[in-house]
Structure 1
Amino acid sequence: MKMPKEAIQSAMFAPCGMNCMVCYKHCYHKKPCAGCLNGDAGKPEHCRTCKIKDCIKGNGLTYCFECSGYPCKLIKNLEKSYNKRYQTSLMANSEFIRRYGLEMFMELQKQKYTCPKCGGVISIHDRECSECHEKMISSDSCSSV
């Protein structure tokens, strides 16, 4: 999958702070997931049954950072996991969007996760390009945006 030339759709930003465009399920499948804010087609089981997504819908919100209880235990646990496993802060992503807007965030993400060799999408989960399968080495520590 190539990174789109146009802006990344806002529906690709998950309620928890994840950019679904750089998720391995979106990058590597013939029928990519359409993002957390869209239907369940192509989603792995853990995304279809996500308690965070259910909570957001139940509270009539779009993003977790809009909630008065943010960050809740669910977000803190996911944050801890993403910090440890992928050196990424979903809470920092959400804070950036709160301050500067989703459009700017997605543009920066597009720059960060586009393979410089072929224009493919670099997965946040394994740092591999979806097209040329080149492993990208990131010097970012607990990076966001």
Structure 2
Amino acid sequence: MDKVIKKYPTLGVCGLDCGLCPRYYIKGPSRCPGCCGPDFSDKHPSCSLVTCCVKKQNFEVCAECNKFPCSKLKGWDKGDSFVTHRKSISNLNSIKKQGLEKFIKQQKRRIELLEIFLKHFDEGRSKNFYCIATTILSVYELETSLRIGKQKIKTEKVREDDLKAKSLLLKEQLEKSASRKRVELKLRK
């Protein structure tokens, strides 16, 4: 087992929202512990950003480095893997501007909302969608979508155990918020 070397494994050194990643919520051996979390190096043995930022300079994130943004991050937010990279550089810029603690407070609220979505609105096929939505949309948009979704569930008398119907209603609200921002809630290739 690795020694935990970062205070916030839900935030990648590169700005990825590890706490909003589908692999963070998998049960079993393929679960990712977050950036530099327990057993991280077993799953990500050669992350050059962790080596540079955390191991060599003892930073929590790249934004703390006076060379930020460096060539290692060039194009980092232009494509996605199994998690969206769209907000990674803007996350780091936000941390640089307003500080790590303020960012972490906002991220914790996003994680809380994602966990609500997964517990009460996931019919078994929406985890990736909810992870992308909680990464891209603002906390206000997420909270508003949840509130309106709950109202529609009540108005339409959807049963508590009807996760498919509940999921459709919440996803409809999240898609409307995304549409207003002209973004798609799916991974980019």
Partner of 1:6: none
Query: Which whole-Å CA distance do the structure 2 matches of 1:40 and 1:24 have between them?
Result: 17
Structure number having the greater helix percentage: 2
Return closer, same or farther for 1:52/1:118 CA change in 2, 3 Å cut-off: closer
Gap regions ≥5 residues in structure 1: 1-8
Return closer, same or farther for 1:98/1:80 CA change in 2, 3 Å cut-off: same
Return closer, same or farther for 1:106/1:51 CA change in 2, 3 Å cut-off: same
Q: Identity percentage over the alignment?
A: 22
Partner of 2:14: 16
Return closer, same or farther for 1:78/1:99 CA change in 2, 3 Å cut-off: same
* C-alpha displacement of 1:91: 1.3
Gap regions ≥5 residues in structure 2: 1-6, 132-162, 185-189
Return closer, same or farther for 1:71/1:117 CA change in 2, 3 Å cut-off: closer
Higher relative contact order (CA 8 A, sep 6+): 1
Q: TM-score, structure 2 length as denominator?
A: 0.51
Aligned residue runs from structure 1 range 1-145, under 5 A: 10-30=8-28, 32-41=31-40, 44=43, 47-56=44-53, 57-82=55-80, 86=84, 88-113=86-111, 114-115=113-114, 117=117, 119=119, 126-128=128-130, 134=167, 136=171, 137-138=174-175, 139=178, 140=181, 141=183
What is the CA deviation profile of residues 111-130 of structure 1, one whole-angstrom value per residue up to 9, with x for unaligned ones?
A: 4452455557x9xx93246x
Q: TM-score, structure 1 length as denominator?
A: 0.63
**What is the total number of aligned residue pairs between the two structures?**
126
* C-alpha displacement of 1:90: 0.8
